Amino acid sequence: MTGVSSVTAIGPVAGVLVGGGSRRMGRDKALIDVGGETLLERTLRVAKSSAGQCSLVGDAPFSLPSSVRHVRRVPDAANAAGPIAGLLGMLNAFPGSPVLLLACDMPNLGAALLETLVRAARTETIVAVSDAIVPLTIEVGRERTHPCCAVYLPTAKTHVESAVDAGRFRMMSLLDALRVHRVNVAGEDAAQLLNWNTPLDLPGGGAMPSE
């Protein structure tokens, strides 16, 4: 089995980021209730429908809900900060496996979008020329990529390590160094990538959650 074939056969493992400080929200975003479950519980549920294995990534600054305490924990890379630390932690923990990296602040995230990303990660012609598979939306005529709802292939690891070693922790800068296969997400589907960052984003002040 070739390297590309082995990657497409394995399929992604999911890593849900839990180490953020939620400073702009003023409280832990992961614990906000969405239809009777926390954002963290909802994200894990959706991720499990598309990935064979799910992990919580980073040192959560809050007490985990009892329903997720059995989920494997993966530490952030010690010499990095922010989502890139979680990404490198996952690539270290699961060598040779694609990583589906997910923030846990997207209340509208659905399985169909993740399945589209996973399907691309199982397509040899895409994997052969890519390091990452990332959603792309158009907002007010401006393209936006979403690095915290994306699949990173094993070939991305050396670039992630180089960025971390150089102290470059911004995910958008990392994408500039990667061969990125962009998945266009338009119309109502783009709402799945909306995230909650401040109290104004919560129901009554912004996006409403849906399945």
DSSP letter at 155?
G
Residue 12 structure tokens: 């992604």
User: 73 in helix, strand or coil?
Assistant: strand
Mean pLDDT by groups of 10 residues along the chain of 211 residues:
66 88 62 86 92 90 87 93 96 95 92 94 94 90 91 97 96 97 91 75 52 38
pTM beyond 0.75, yes or no: yes
pLDDT of residue 72: 95
| Number of C-beta neighbours around residue 160 at 10 A | 26
Residues near 103 by beta carbon (within 8 Å), at least 6 away in sequence: 16, 17, 20, 43, 83, 148, 149, 195
pLDDT at 62: 79
Cα–Cα distance for residue pair 17/56, rounded to 1 Å: 6
